[in-house]
């Protein structure tokens, strides 16, 4: 069976960025579960918290919002899971530490209320979702190893 990459959050795919770093952006509404999980097995290489604004997470201007980037070293390369605060959100909880081994589906943190999660897709993976797709944390396959 091929390796699959699971959705790190529940919500709706609001966009996919192609190019050098393919990224799937998932918008979480207030009623979605706001936990963030590891999309693949790996080791937490770096955690980068950044202060910023608190614009609505579904708007392009949210690219400058407060965020927490978790870099995972996986056997397929580096995967970045970016927890982005939204308009109502003022708190991002990170539950992992640098150097920690983490399994696919294991909880990495939580973003309180409506927010966004961006996840980078390794080069050898083929996307299984598109804009508008509803995804469920731990359940939806977002990419599969080619």
Tell me the per-residue pLDDT of 122-137, one tens digit each, with 9 for 90 and over: 999 999 999 999 999 9
User: What percent of the chain is modeled with pLDDT above 70?
Assistant: 93
pLDDT digits (tens, 9 = 90+) for 12-36: 999 999 877 899 999 988 777 789 9
Residues 4 and 10: their CA atoms lie apart, in Å, by: 17
pLDDT digits (tens, 9 = 90+) for 91-129: 899 999 999 999 999 999 998 776 889 999 999 999 999
Nearest Cα neighbor of 48 from 9, 79, 83 is 83
The pairing of beta strand 42-50 with beta strand 67-74: antiparallel
Q: Judge contact between 29 and 9, C-beta under 8 A.
A: no
* 4-145 homologous superfamily: Glucose Permease (Domain IIA) (2.70.70.10)
**Any idea which of 3-7, 56-60, 75-79 has the lowest mean pLDDT?**
56-60
Q: Judge contact between 34 and 115, C-beta under 8 A.
A: yes
Predicted confidence at residue 20, as pLDDT, reads 74
Whole-prediction pTM value?
A: 0.89
SS3 26: strand
CA atoms within 13 A on the CB side of 62: 25
Q: Is 115 a catalytic residue?
A: yes
Predicted confidence at residue 21, as pLDDT, reads 82
Predicted confidence at residue 29, as pLDDT, reads 80
Predicted confidence at residue 90, as pLDDT, reads 74
CA atoms within 13 A on the CB side of 54: 10
Of 10, 25, 115, 120, the catalytic one is 115
SS3 63: helix
User: What percent of the chain is modeled with pLDDT above 90?
Assistant: 68
């Amino acid at each position: 069976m091929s390796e699959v990459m699971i959705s790190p959050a529940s919500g709706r795919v609001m966009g996919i960025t192609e190019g050098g770093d393919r990224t799937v952006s998932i918008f979480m509404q207030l009623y979605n579960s706001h936990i963030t999980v590891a999309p693949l097995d790996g080791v937490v290489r770096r955690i980068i918290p950044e202060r910023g604004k608190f614009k609505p997470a579904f708007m392009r201007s949210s690219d400058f919002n407060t965020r927490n980037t978790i870099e995972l070293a996986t056997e397929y390369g580096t995967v970045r899971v970016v927890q982005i605060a939204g308009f109502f959100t003022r708190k991002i909880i990170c539950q992992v530490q640098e150097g920690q081994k983490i399994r696919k589906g294991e909880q990495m943190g939580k973003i309180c209320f409506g927010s966004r999660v961006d996840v980078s897709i390794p080069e050898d993976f083929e996307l299984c979702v598109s804009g508008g797709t509803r995804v469920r944390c731990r359940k939806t396959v977002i990419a599969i190893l080619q």
